[in-house]
Amino acid sequence: MSATPANWSQHARLLTLHTPLGADVLLATEVQIDEALGPLLEHAGLRIHLRAISADARLRPQALLGQPVRLDLATASGPRPFHGHITAFERSGADGGFGHYRLRIEPWLALLGQRSDAYVFQDMSVFDIVDELFADWQGRGTLAPAWRWDVAERSAYPQRSLTIQYHETDLDFLRRLLAEEGLFYWFEHRADGALLVIADHNGAFADNAQPHIRYTQSGATLAADALDRWAGARRLGSSATAMASWDYRSVHMRQQMQPSAIDNGPAAPRLDDTLDPGPYAWHTQADGERLSSRRREALDVRLKTFRGHGTVRSAAPATVFTLDDHPEHDTDPAAQRRFLITAVRHRARNNLPHSGADAYYRCRLDAVRAHIPWRPLLIDADGQPVDLRPHIVGEHSAIVVGEDGAPTHTDRDHRIRIQFHWQRGSRAASRLPHPSGADNAPASDALGTWVRVLSAAAGANWGAHFIPRPGQEVLVTFLHGNPDRPVVVGAAYNGRGARRAPRHRAGRGATAGG
């Protein structure tokens, strides 16, 4: 491999790229770095678009795709690292024997968007589900996922009786699960790697490496990084959030109402945000209050936002700073001048000899006041909420499962347990094992939540029921199209017992026993 001339070293430059190819084989020329509090739809918390050059104009993409790399941004306090994996590599041309390349660098979390699955999680909390999901990615290729939880009260999160990842990528499943629970995340980048932090309270945020950031006029020369543009924006939002969920076990509607903490002004009409989350959306009144308040907080925190532009190289999501010397904010109380950074776009250029240009850095940051609770909200390019949960249309076929050898397996409400044909494990209909090695289809009562069964008639102390038995095939629909809310609507003959059928062409219309 050709050597890069010594005077084209990355040493002491604004940007330094570290790759498995060795020092200075690929030199960073320009970069755009987007990082934000997640979950969000645009990326997995970090995305880097990098231009680079090399003395080797024939670098092979296969040697770099998936490889871990580190990009250092020089700051006043030392190099600031960004860790990720190369997810796209393109040769964009050659010039005087030097190859020009474009790279996309993303965190390990982004690779979860490349695998889809259908999987049943039963009687597990959100912590258990996420830990199991991440653990399955350990050691895959060059991935070494690292994460930690920072939640105010773990006991506030109940076990989820049934959570189905239904033919969706691991990343999309994670996004909608965390957003549903009001959990958010960001990456902490250190010299030795990146740590994913998942949290649910503003106390988890740390002060920025530059805790006081000055506002100054554009073009002014200051000893410290500063912001030279700053503007706030207000949006008209709903006045309250109302939610109601039917719970058949307690036979009543569980209602929640959360007023907005933001004043829309005297001219604004009352606007209610009314949601129907579907049946038994929460376990207890306290759980319903938690979910509805977090929905309200997710809407409120986006009604007053701020955007700044400048040269603050330490700007990072999940960090807090105090804005100084701003003519509008200097008279505000101290708490009103503290801001939480929610997203940053960095643009930088190295001063390599071939370009003849000086080094350059600018950033754009989005922020909210630090005392307002932050919550995730999945929104599209127009700012409208997006529901990532798959919506199932039509019926699915499943097999009734239960205790080995037992003729029936039911409970007080005549519910049964089922196993879908798309589940994989030791006794899967497809006979396919799950790639993780987990037995997600044991065809027994070990897995499969209780599912209600449709009856021709049902009421208080009267009705009729036919309990499907283990081994029977049933048709399943999903309330509100929600994969987590299956209901059995009928049974379908699947050929079991066909060998005895010629001897029993006529018989009783119904049988019972066993």
Residues 9-30 have pLDDT tens digits of 788 899 999 999 998 899 999 9
Average pLDDT over residues 42-49: 97
Percentage of the chain modeled with pLDDT above 90? 66
Residue 87 belongs to a domain: yes
* Residue 203: how many other CB atoms lie within 10 Å: 9
Task: Kindly provide the residue ranges of all beta strands, DSSP E only, lying in 42-97, ordered along the sequence.
Answer: 46-54, 68-75, 78-95
- Which residues 6+ apart lie within 8 Å of 451 measured at CB? 415, 416, 417, 418, 476, 486, 487, 488
Structure tokens at 77: 């306090």
Domain-ending residue, one of 176, 199, 222: 199
Residues 264 and 226 in one domain: no
Residue 136 belongs to a domain: yes
Of the candidate ranges 379-383, 419-423, 477-481, 494-498, the one whose mean pLDDT is the lowest? 494-498
Three state DSSP letters for 110-143 = HHHHHCEEEEEEEEECHHHHHHHHHHCCCCCCCC
Residue 513 belongs to a domain: no
Look at residues 185, 186, 195, 208 and name the one whose alpha carbon lies nearest to residue 312.
Answer: 208
Residues 20 and 33 in one domain: yes
Q: CA 374, CA 281: separation in Å to the nearest integer?
A: 22
Domain count, the chain: 5
Residue 54 belongs to a domain: yes
- Report pLDDT for 6: 43
In angstroms, how far is CA 482 from the centroid of its own chain? 18
Residues 144 and 68 in one domain: no
Q: CA 341, CA 401: separation in Å to the nearest integer?
A: 50
Residue 376 belongs to a domain: no
- Report pLDDT for 4: 47
Residues 404 and 355 in one domain: no
Rg (CA), the chain: 28
Residues 401 and 491 in one domain: yes
Mean pLDDT of the chain: 90
Domain-ending residue, one of 330, 352, 369: 369
Residues 107-126 have pLDDT tens digits of 999 999 999 999 999 999 99
Residues 124 and 175 in one domain: yes
Residues 198-213 have pLDDT tens digits of 999 999 999 999 999 9
Residues 228 and 266 in one domain: no
pLDDT band at 227 (very low <50, low <70, confident <90, very high): very high
Q: Report DSSP state, residue 335.
A: G
Stated pTM of the model: 0.91
- Report pLDDT for 7: 53
Highest mean pLDDT out of 52-61, 65-74, 423-432, 447-456: 65-74
- Report pLDDT for 1: 40
Look at residues 230, 280, 261 and name the one whose alpha carbon lies nearest to residue 375.
Answer: 261
Residues 320 and 402 in one domain: no
Residues 240-253 have pLDDT tens digits of 888 888 877 665 56
CATH of the domain at 425: 2.40.50.230
CATH of the domain at 100: 4.10.410.40
- Report pLDDT for 500: 61
Domain-ending residue, one of 282, 300, 318: 300
Residue 509 belongs to a domain: no
Residues 350 and 476 in one domain: no
CATH of the domain at 187: 3.55.50.10
Structure tokens at 119: 């999987």
Residue 389 belongs to a domain: no
Q: Does the pLDDT of residue 421 top 60, yes or no?
A: yes
Residues 401 and 500 in one domain: yes
Element (H, E) at 227: strand 226-234
Residues 314-335 have pLDDT tens digits of 999 999 999 999 999 999 999 9
Range of the domain at 339: 204-235+304-369
Residues 31-41 have pLDDT tens digits of 999 999 999 99
Residues 213 and 349 in one domain: yes
Residues 480-512 have pLDDT tens digits of 999 999 999 999 998 776 666 556 555 555 555
Q: What is the dihedral of CA 125, 371, 185, 37, to 10 degrees?
A: 140
Residues 230 and 347 in one domain: yes
Residue 437 belongs to a domain: yes
